[in-house]
Chain A
Amino acid sequence: MIKYTIQRILLAVLIIACAVATMFIMIHAVPGDPANVMLGPRATLEIKEALRAKLHLDQPITTQLFYFFRGLLSGDFGFDLRSNRPVLDIIFEQFPHTLILVTSALVVSTIGIPVGCYAAIHRNGKFDRVVGTISVSIIAMPAIVVGLYMLLFFSVKLRLFPVIGAGDSNDWLDYLWHLTLPVITISIAWIGYISRIVRASMIEVLNQNHVRMARAFGLPESKIMSRYALRIAVLPSITMLGVSVALILSSTVIIEIIFARPGIGSLLYESVLSRNYPLVMGAVLFSTIFIVAGTTIADLANAALDPRARKEAN
């Protein structure tokens, strides 16, 4: 397990390094002077010269990459072109809103576990069939349409929920009220997805020898389910949750804009519109690091719970 953990973490670091380098090379692949790209056409010559010197643009690209990595390691993601504040400070201001949204969506998505379990136990029953059809239809539903429809029906037409903002952070009830629709928008598809995964693995587990053995010994059905079947059946969805962090974080851009919430997605969008390049880079890299960390933790958790996963990886 220790060997696997070290391997997995090294791989994660390597992936992050590659992701950073790719982004870096992309900026330099754009025709023209990166200083021009970053500052836009209105910048004066002096500002450009200053930026060039600051970012070591006058030096060979390998040296630039080295400085860039060194900066990242010391937490320097560059400076906001407008306020000249460190990018990381601005990201840390906005990120909590996104983190709350993503975490709440993940928590709500776990409703899929009991749903999938129940469907598997009562396989081919009415509940199973209804849930099966609904989940197939909602799994791929684009968050953008779900979000806009939610906004249209529940906020604009029925006036049940607020239209914009994240609410007052000090008033948790108000904050929660603002959080409801965005969270439902994200989790609706994941409830369907997780229930399907749990159902499939539960059906597999229920046919395994150790469960049949437990039945043969006459253990009560509830105990068989909770102690022997569910524990194994939930494993694949843990890996899935790790992957889902990437997709959910990605969809928060759209969700935050639709519901006019603050967060890293809105921040990124505003920086894109104002061509505030260091902020765009910073937000993307920060999210990427967060995602790689998420998938790595999910893999490690899965390996800790299921020794088979460790073997497969090697």
Chain B
Amino acid sequence: MSLESSGQVETLRTSSITNVISKLIHDPMGAVGLLIVISFLLVAIFAGVLAPYDPNKIDILNKLQGPSLQHLVGTDQLGRDTLSRLIHGTQIALLVAVVSIGLAVLMGSILGAIAGYGPAWLDFIIMLIFDTMRSYPVIMFALAVVVLFGPSLTTIMVIIIATSFPTYGRLMRTQTQTLRKSEYILSAQALGIGTPRILLKHVMPNTIGPILIVASMDVPFVIALEAGLSFLGLGVRPPTPSWGSILNDGYTYIRNSSWILFSAGAPLILVTIGFTFLGEQLRDILDPKIGRGL
């Protein structure tokens, strides 16, 4: 693995995307991770086609049934098909994860780049914002926000963005600080290129790798947070199927209908393994150095 002469991290630019993917596939852990992640994406996209039943179709006569050929993982207390609900729940889980992490990365990157590149006083203020947001216990902060603004998908996303952008911000700041003293940035400055352009064209592209790794590892946490809030009845509103609310149904009927709980936990475990393996392998391929302190 070639490191750049100045000792900076290897980036997406030096090892092209196809190269990364081929390395991923050739490692068992990476291949498993990639396979799981792609499967979940496909399930989310084609949920309507894959689900054997309408996730909200109530069939009281067949409530709380065990696994059978008609209902592969049984039905819940309203007779709704658990498998169909889990399949549709994938949409919510991935939607929340992708949109909110995407926005958190964007927000964190901009603030982090400004902090790392700007004057010291601005750096101090931005770092104070980061540290403040990181000092809240995430779930407790989420509960406080939910009680104020009411439970909804938007509230969940705002909570996730607010609590996770500092991670990306700090990462971006560290990266920018290392890069700003490098020769190619200094020469860009000497050529009179404006600061926004330097940040956008020369600093940002070199930080994509590490951010991608952290984002990939962040997905399970975000999905678990959404599931946790929905489990507590403070997330996505019923009857919209969410893994968390299905877990809650399973928790309620834990004594007699344990398959609901068991099957609702499975996708959470799988998705966690998928994104973690992918993130780990991405790290090994792109940059073996980062991640230790994160």
B135, B250, B265, most chain A CB atoms within 10 A: B135
A109-149 residues with Cβ-Cβ distance < 8 A to B are: 133, 136-137, 139-145, 148-149
- Contact residues, B59-103 vs A (CB, 8 A): none
User: Which residues of A sit under 8 angstroms from B231, Cβ to Cβ?
Assistant: 144, 254
In the complex, which residues of chain A have a beta carbon less than 8 angstroms from the beta carbon of B265? 145, 148-149
- Within 8 Å CB of B293, what residues of A? 236, 239
CA distance A141 to B275 in the complex (A): 11
Tell me the complex Cα distance, A236–B292, Å. 9
Which residue of B is nearest A21, CB measured?
Answer: B132
Near B by CB (< 8 A), chain A positions 21-67 give: 22-23, 26-27, 30, 37
Tell me, yes or no, whether B206 is within 8 Å of chain A by CB.
no
- CB within 8 A of A272: which of B146, B255, B269? B146
Bound CA–CA A292/B133 (angstroms): 11
Known: A144-B224, A144-B227. A250 touches B277 (CB 8 A): no
Tally of A-B Cβ pairs under 8 angstroms? 143
**Cross-chain contact of B137 among A148, A281, A288 (Cβ < 8 A):** A288
Does B135 lie within 8 Å of A156, measured CB to CB?
A: no
Answer yes or no: B268 CB below 8 A from chain A CBs. yes
CB distance from A260 to the nearest CB of B (A): 11
> Are B228 and A156 within 8 A (Cβ)?
no
Residues of B within 8 A of A141 (CB): 269, 272
B128 A27 Cβ-Cβ under 8 A: no
Min CB–CB distance A230 → chain B (angstroms):
18
Nearest opposing residue in chain B for A201, CB measure: B292
Whether, in the assembled complex, B21 has its beta carbon less than 8 Å from a beta carbon of chain A, the answer is no
**A219-249 interface bits toward B, Cβ cutoff 8 Å, 1 = contact, 0 = none:** 0000000000000000010010000001101
Whether the Cβ atoms of B234 and A152 lie closer than 8 Å is no
Given the complex of chains A and B, what is the CA–CA distance between A280 and B234 in angstroms?
14
CB-CB nearest in chain B for A289: B135
Given A14-B128, A249-B137, CB of A23 within 8 Å of CB of B144 = yes
On whether the beta carbons of B148 and A157 are closer than 8 Å, the reply is no
- The CA-CA distance from A295 to B149 in the complex, in Å, is 30
Asked if residues A200 and B292 are in contact (CB atoms below 8 Å), the reply is yes
* Nearest B-chain residue to A295, judged by Cβ: B135
CB of A144 within 8 A of CB of B276, answer: no
Closest A residue to B269 by CB, please name it. Answer: A145
Q: Is B140 an interface residue when CB atoms closer than 8 A count as contact?
A: yes
Question: How far in angstroms is the closest Cβ of chain B from A297?
Answer: 14
Residues of B within 8 A of A143 (CB): 224
Closest chain A CB from B82 CB (angstroms): 15
Specify which chain A residues have a CB less than 8 angstroms from the CB of B250 in the assembled complex.
148
A-B pairs, 7 with minimum CB distance? A142-B224, A250-B137, A18-B132, A145-B265, A140-B220, A253-B139, A250-B139
Pairs A–B under 8 Å by Cβ, sample size 5: A140-B272, A144-B227, A149-B261, A152-B254, A287-B140
- Where the two chains meet, the residues of A that have a C-beta atom closer than 8 Å to any C-beta of B are 11, 14-16, 18-19, 22-23, 26-27, 30, 37, 133, 136-137, 139-145, 148-149, 151-152, 156-157, 197, 200-201, 236, 239, 246-247, 249-251, 253-254, 257-258, 265, 268-269, 272, 275, 277, 280-281, 283-284, 287-288, 291-292, 295
